[in-house]
C-alpha cells in the first residue's frame, strides 16, 4: 500500500507539467488520474475485504460519486466514496470494521475524503431529502465489490430523479441561484471560484442533472470544450500550489498561466471568463427548456395548442421566448436578426435557441457601409435597456458581434484589474449602454450617445497605454463602417477620445476656475450638443463601472463644471432647419387629386418599410390626423418631413411595417376624408394599440428655441416613442389653434427628436404667454396620451 508521500507524489507525477499545453492532454491526464485512483482504491478494497470470507463479495461494494465518479477529478481533488451493502449479507459491526479498513488508509495517504456507509434504501432516503446528495448520486459508479448492487442504486436514483422532477427542478434552480449569490460570477471576478461560482464546474454538474430528468437535452460541443478548459485551469492550479484548491487567487495566476502556456494572467482570466460565459448561457437555456417541458406535461383540459403572441416581422412570443412563426421560410437577414433581438430585449426575455440558430446560420454580415435600416435597427437594440444584456450575450456567443464588429474580439471577456470596475471590458461596455439608455432624453442625438457608450473603451487591449486616445480612431472606423455621416463619425470619435475629460477636470481641478471651464469647452469643440453627450456618457460610464466610480461627490463636481460650461457656451442650439423645398411647386398629380376632392397619397416600398407622401389642403389638425392614421395602421414612423406649399400641406413619412402589410393609398385617402368631416372611426385601431402599449419610462422635454425663425415659433420635443405620439402632439397644437407650417420628425434609438415650426392665426408667431401654455400641454400629452 502506498504511503502518504508515495500516493501524493504519484498523483502529481501523473498530472505532469510537460503535457499541459498539448491538445487533448487534459482529458488524458484526468483519465490517468481516475484509473490510478481506482486501482489504488481497488488494492485497499482487496486488503479490507480479505478477512471477511473467501471469494464472495455479493451484497457489498465500494462506489464513487462526484468528480471521482465522473472521471474529471484533479490531481489533488478529494475522493467521494460510498460503502454500499444490502443490509443482509453482513452484520452491522462487520460493515463498520470494513469501512474503517478503507477510510483510515485513505486518510493516512493525505487524501481529502467524503465518505458514507449506506444501504440501497438509505441511499434512496438520503437522495429524497437532500438535493445535493441526489445530484451527486446520479453519477454513482462502481469501484470494487458487487457491481450489481451499485448498478441497482444508480438506476433507482435516476428513476426517482425523473419521477420527482416536478418538485426537484424548482429546488435545483433555486439552490443554484443561492450558490451563485454566495460565490459570485466567474465572468466578473478577478479571483474566481472555479468550482462554485456562476459558470463554474458545479454548474456543469447541474446541467447534466437537468438532462438526467429527461426534460431537456443540453448543448454539446462548445460547452464541453469550455468545461474542459476550466478543468485544465483547476488541474494547473493544483499542480502550481500543491494544494487541492478551487479559487484562482491573484498570487497563483502567474504560475497557472505559465503552466497553461498563456503569455500573462490576463490572457488566462480571459479564457476562464469566456468558458464561464458559455457554461452559464448553456445552463440558463437548458433550465428554461426543462421548465417549458415540465409545463407542457402539466395535465390540462382541451387540445394543446401553442400560444403565439404576434410581434410583427414574422416574430412571436411563445412561452417566455421570441420565436419565428410556423410558416417562416425567409432567408435570414441582418435586419430580421436585429428586429428579433430588439423584440427580445424590450421584453427582457431570451431569443429561443432554435430561433437564434435559424437567424444566424449562413447569415451574411451587413454590407459596408451598413444600410441605414440596419444601422437604425442596431441602435434601436442598444436603446432597449436592461434586456439588452442577455440578448447581446446570445449574439456574442453566437459569433454575430465579432463578425460584424471584429474589433470587439480584442476586448471580449478581457478582465479589468481595477478596484473601481466590477466587469470585464466588454460587459462594462454593455452596462454603460444600458445606463446611457436612461439618459437619452438629455441629448439631441441619443444614437450617438449609445454608440459612443458601446465603443468608449474599445481601446482597452493589451499593451495600450492610453485607451481613450488609442480607441478613438478604432471607434471612428467602426462608426464609418456602420454608415454614420462624416460629422457623426467625428462626434463619436471625440466622445471616445474625451470620455474621461469631464470627470478628470471636475475632480482633479477646480470646477469653478475659468481655465477649467475653458478646457472642457475646448474638449467639446465649443458645441453645446456634444457637451450634453459627454456629460451623459460620463455618468453612464461611471455608474456602470461600480458604486465607487459615481459617488455623490463626483456627481456634484461633474454637474457644477457642466453647468459652468453651459453658461460659457450660451444658447448655441442647433436645430433642424425648415425644408429647403418649402416653396417648391406642387406635382401635377397632387393638384389633380386635390381638384377631385381627395387627398393625394403615394406609397412606395423601401428596404425598411415604405415612404408615404400625403398632400392635402392645409387645415387645423391635418398633421395629427395623418400621424394618427399611420399609427392606427400599425406602422412605426422613423422620420417625417412636413412642409406647406401654396396652402397645401405635403407630408413625407418614412415608416416600418412590423405586420408586413403596407398601408394602402386608398385606405389612407378614405381615412383622411372621414377625419376631415369629423368621423373619428378610422382611429379606433389606434386606441386599441395604445391600451396595450408599454408605459413610457423616459420623461418628455419640450422647449421653444428663441430666435430660430422670424416667421414662426420653433418648438422642439424630445420624448420616448410610442403609438399615437405624433398624433397627440398634433392634437395639442390644434387645441391651441396653431398650424404646423413645417416640421422635421426623427426617431433615434426609440426616442423622437421633433422640431415644429408653428404659427398662430394669420400665420404669425405664437405669443409668449400662449407658448408657455403650449409647452406644458405638450409635456402632458406626450407623457399621457390625449383621449379621443
Residue 77, pLDDT above cutoff 50 = yes
What residue has cell string 470494513?
98
Which residues face 497 on adjacent strands? none
Residue 619 C-alpha cell reads as: 387645415
Confidence label for 740 from pLDDT (cuts 50, 70 and 90): confident
Residue 349, pLDDT above cutoff 90 = yes
Residue 495, pLDDT above cutoff 50 = yes
- Mean pLDDT (the chain) is 87
% the chain with pLDDT above 90:
46
Residue 302, pLDDT above cutoff 70 = no
50-54, 239-243, 345-349, 513-517: lowest mean pLDDT where?
A: 50-54
Task: Give residue 32's pLDDT.
Answer: 87
The domain spans of the chain are: 4-163, 167-296, 428-574, 592-783
Answer with the residue of higher pLDDT: 678 or 575.
678
Task: Give residue 328's pLDDT.
Answer: 74
Residue 588, pLDDT above cutoff 50 = yes
For the domain made up of 4-163, give the CATH fold: Beta Polymerase; domain 2 (3.30.460)
Beta-carbon contacts of residue 129 (< 8 Å; ≥ 6 apart): none
What's 321's DSSP letter? E
- The per-residue DSSP string of 631-672 comes to HHTT-EEEEEEEEEETTEEEEEEEEE-TTSPPPPHHHHHHHH
For 513-527, what is each residue's pLDDT tens digit? 999 999 999 999 999
Residue 485 C-alpha cell reads as: 455621416
What residue has cell string 471560484?
193
* CA 730 to chain CA mean position, Å: 36
Residue 694, pLDDT above cutoff 70 = no
Task: Give residue 298's pLDDT.
Answer: 61
Q: State the Rg of the chain over Cα.
A: 33
Q: What 3-state class would DSSP assign to 757?
A: strand
Q: What 3-state class would DSSP assign to 421?
A: coil
Q: What distance in Å separates the CA atoms of residue 510 and residue 561, rounded to the nearest whole number?
A: 9
Indicate the CATH number for domain 428-574. 1.10.3210
Task: Give residue 18's pLDDT.
Answer: 60
Strand residues in 334-450 grouped as ranges (E)? none
Distances (CA, A) of 289 to 75, 134, 292: 35, 21, 5
Residue 5 C-alpha cell reads as: 508521500
Q: What distance in Å separates the CA atoms of residue 629 and residue 667, rounded to the nearest whole number?
A: 9
For 430-468, what is each residue's pLDDT tens digit? 999 999 999 988 898 999 999 999 999 999 998 888 999
CB count in 10 Å sphere of residue 441? 17
For 524-552, what is each residue's pLDDT tens digit? 999 999 999 999 999 999 999 888 788 88
Residue 683, pLDDT above cutoff 90 = no
Q: Where are the alpha helices (DSSP H) in 138-221?
A: 147-163, 165-183, 201-212
Are 538 and 436 in contact by the 8 Å Cβ rule? The answer is: no
189: left (phi over 0), alpha (psi -120 to 50) or beta: beta
H-helix or E-strand spanning residue 141: strand 141-145
CB count in 10 Å sphere of residue 310? 12
Distances (CA, A) of 286 to 124, 207, 357, 398: 26, 7, 15, 16
Residue 647, pLDDT above cutoff 90 = no
Of 595, 602, 585, 636, the C-alpha closest to 617 is 595
Task: Give residue 166's pLDDT.
Answer: 82
Task: Give residue 786's pLDDT.
Answer: 46
Which residues face 84 on adjacent strands? 61, 118
Burial 389-428 (b: 16+ CB within 10 A, else e): bbbbbbbbbbebbbbbbebbbbbbbbbbeeeebbbbbbbb
Provide the whole-model pTM: 0.85
% the chain with pLDDT above 70:
92
What residue has cell string 444508480?
154
Confidence label for 199 from pLDDT (cuts 50, 70 and 90): very high
Residue 42, preceding peptide bond in cis (omega within 30° of 0) = no
For 613-640, what is each residue's pLDDT tens digit? 988 888 888 888 888 898 888 888 888 8
Phi then psi dihedrals of residue 58, to 5 deg: -60, 140
Stated length of the chain? 788
Q: Ranked by mean pLDDT, which of 144-153, 472-481, 772-781 comes out on top?
A: 472-481
CA dihedral over 694, 698, 702, 705, signed as positive or negative: negative
Mean pLDDT for 504-515 is: 92
Q: What angle do CA 306, 312, 316 make, to 5 degrees?
A: 20
Beta-carbon contacts of residue 505 (< 8 Å; ≥ 6 apart): 511, 516, 519, 520, 561
Mean pLDDT for 49-66 is: 81
Task: Give residue 487's pLDDT.
Answer: 95
Task: Give residue 290's pLDDT.
Answer: 84
Residue 766 C-alpha cell reads as: 405664437
Confidence label for 750 from pLDDT (cuts 50, 70 and 90): confident
Indicate the CATH number for domain 167-296. 1.20.120.330
CATH code matching the domain that covers 592-783, chosen among 1.25.40, 3.40.50, 3.40.1020, 1.10.3470: 3.40.1020
Task: Give residue 753's pLDDT.
Answer: 85
203-207, 215-219, 241-245, 676-680: lowest mean pLDDT where?
A: 215-219
Answer with the residue of higher pLDDT: 432 or 644.
432
Q: What distance in Å separates the CA atoms of residue 191 and residue 415, rounded to the nearest whole number?
A: 11
Beta-carbon contacts of residue 566 (< 8 Å; ≥ 6 apart): 528, 531
Residue 787, pLDDT above cutoff 50 = no
Task: Give residue 788's pLDDT.
Answer: 41
Amino acid at each position: 500500500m502506498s504511503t502518504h508521500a508515495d500516493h501524493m507524489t504519484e498523483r502529481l507525477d501523473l498530472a505532469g507539467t510537460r503535457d499541459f499545453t498539448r491538445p487533448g492532454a487534459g482529458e488524458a491526464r484526468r483519465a490517468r488520474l481516475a484509473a490510478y485512483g481506482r486501482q489504488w482504491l481497488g488494492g485497499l478494497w482487496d486488503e479490507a475485504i480479505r478477512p471477511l470470507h473467501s471469494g464472495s463479495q455479493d451484497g457489498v461494494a465500494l462506489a464513487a460519486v462526484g468528480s471521482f465518479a465522473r472521471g474529471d477529478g484533479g490531481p489533488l481533488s478529494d475522493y467521494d466514496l460510498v460503502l454500499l451493502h444490502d443490509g443482509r449479507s453482513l452484520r452491522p459491526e462487520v460493515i463498520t470494521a470494513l469501512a474503517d479498513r478503507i477510510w483510515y488508509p485513505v486518510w493516512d495517504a493525505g487524501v481529502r475524503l467524503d465518505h458514507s456507509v449506506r444501504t440501497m434504501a438509505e441511499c434512496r432516503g438520503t437522495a429524497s431529502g437532500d438535493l445535493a446528495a441526489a445530484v451527486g448520486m446520479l453519477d454513482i459508479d462502481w469501484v470494487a465489490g458487487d457491481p450489481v448492487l451499485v448498478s441497482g442504486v444508480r438506476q433507482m436514483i435516476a428513476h426517482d430523479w425523473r419521477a420527482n422532477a416536478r418538485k426537484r427542478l424548482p429546488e435545483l434552480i433555486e439552490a443554484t441561484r443561492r450558490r451563485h449569490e454566495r460565490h459570485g460570477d466567474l465572468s466578473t471576478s478577478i479571483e474566481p471560484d472555479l468550482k462554485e461560482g456562476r459558470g463554474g464546474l458545479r454548474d456543469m454538474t447541474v446541467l447534466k442533472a437537468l438532462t438526467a430528468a429527461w426534460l431537456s437535452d443540453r448543448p454539446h460541443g462548445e460547452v464541453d470544450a469550455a468545461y474542459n478548459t476550466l478543468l485544465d485551469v483547476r488541474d494547473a492550479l493544483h499542480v502550481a500550489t500543491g494544494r487541492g484548491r478551487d479559487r484562482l487567487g491573484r498570487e497563483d495566476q502567474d504560475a497557472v498561466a505559465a503552466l497553461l502556456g498563456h503569455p500573462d494572467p490576463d490572457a488566462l482570466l480571459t479564457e476562464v471568463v469566456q468558458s464561464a460565459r458559455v457554461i452559464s448561457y448553456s445552463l440558463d437555456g437548458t433550465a428554461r427548456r426543462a421548465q417549458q417541458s415540465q409545463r407542457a406535461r402539466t395535465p390540462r383540459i382541451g387540445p394543446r395548442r401553442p400560444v403565439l403572441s404576434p410581434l410583427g416581422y414574422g416574430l412571436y412570443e411563445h412561452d417566455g421566448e421570441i420565436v419565428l412563426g410556423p410558416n417562416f421560410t425567409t432567408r435570414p437577414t441582418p435586419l430580421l436578426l436585429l428586429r428579433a433581438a430588439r423584440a427580445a430585449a424590450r421584453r427582457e426575455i431570451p431569443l429561443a435557441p432554435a430561433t437564434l440558430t435559424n437567424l444566424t446560420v449562413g447569415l451574411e454580415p451587413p454590407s459596408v457601409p451598413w444600410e441605414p435600416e440596419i444601422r437604425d435597427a442596431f441602435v434601436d437594440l442598444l436603446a432597449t435597456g436592461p434586456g439588452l444584456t442577455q440578448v447581446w450575450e446570445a449574439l456574442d456567443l453566437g459569433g454575430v458581434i465579432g463578425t460584424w464588429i471584429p474589433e470587439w474580439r480584442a476586448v471580449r471577456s478581457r478582465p479589468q484589474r481595477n478596484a473601481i470596475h466590477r466587469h470585464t471590458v466588454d460587459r462594462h461596455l454593455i452596462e454603460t449602454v444600458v445606463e446611457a439608455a436612461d439618459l437619452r432624453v438629455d441629448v439631441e442625438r441619443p444614437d450617438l450617445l449609445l454608440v459612443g457608450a458601446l465603443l468608449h473603451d474599445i481601446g482597452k487591449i493589451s499593451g495600450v497605454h492610453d485607451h481613450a486616445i488609442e480607441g478613438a480612431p478604432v471607434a471612428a472606423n467602426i462608426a464609418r463602417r456602420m454608415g454614420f455621416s462624416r460629422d457623426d463619425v467625428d462626434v463619436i470619435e471625440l466622445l471616445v477620445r474625451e470620455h474621461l475629460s469631464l470627470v478628470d477636470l471636475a475632480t482633479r481641478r477646480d470646477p469653478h476656475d475659468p481655465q477649467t471651464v475653458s478646457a472642457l469647452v475646448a474638449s467639446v469643440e465649443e458645441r453645446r450638443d456634444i457637451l450634453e453627450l459627454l456629460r451623459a456618457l460620463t455618468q453612464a460610464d461611471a455608474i456602470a463601472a461600480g458604486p465607487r466610480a459615481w459617488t455623490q461627490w463626483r456627481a456634484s463636481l461633474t454637474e457644477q463644471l457642466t453647468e459652468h460650461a453651459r453658461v460659457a457656451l450660451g444658447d448655441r442650439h442647433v436645430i433642424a432647419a425648415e425644408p429647403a423645398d418649402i416653396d417648391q411647386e406642387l406635382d401635377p398629380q397632387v393638384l389633380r387629386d386635390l381638384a377631385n376632392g381627395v387627398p393625394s397619397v403615394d406609397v412606395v416600398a423601401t428596404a425598411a418599410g415604405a415612404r408615404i407622401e400625403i398632400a392635402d389642403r392645409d387645415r387645423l389638425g391635418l398633421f395629427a390626423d395623418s400621424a394618427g392614421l399611420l399609427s392606427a395602421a400599425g406602422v412605426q414612423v422613423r422620420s417625417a418631413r412636413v412642409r406647406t406649399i401654396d396652402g397645401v400641406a405635403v407630408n413625407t413619412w418614412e415608416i416600418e411595417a412590423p405586420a408586413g402589410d403596407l398601408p394602402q393609398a386608398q385606405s389612407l385617402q378614405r381615412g383622411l376624408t372621414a377625419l376631415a368631416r369629423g368621423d373619428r372611426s378610422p382611429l379606433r385601431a389606434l386606441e386599441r394599440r395604445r391600451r396595450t402599449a408599454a408605459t413610457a419610462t423616459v420623461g418628455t422635454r419640450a422647449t421653444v428655441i428663441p430666435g430660430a425663425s422670424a416667421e414662426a415659433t420653433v418648438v422642439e420635443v424630445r420624448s420616448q416613442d410610442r403609438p399615437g405620439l405624433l398624433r397627440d402632439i398634433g392634437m395639442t397644437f390644434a387645441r391651441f389653434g396653431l398650424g404646423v407650417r413645417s416640421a422635421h420628425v426623427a426617431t433615434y434609438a426609440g426616442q423622437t427628436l421633433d422640431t415644429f415650426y408653428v404659427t398662430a392665426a394669420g400665420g404669425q408667431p405664437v405669443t409668449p404667454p400662449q407658448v408657455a401654455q403650449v409647452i406644458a400641454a405638450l409635456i402632458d400629452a406626450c407623457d399621457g396620451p390625449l383621449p379621443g
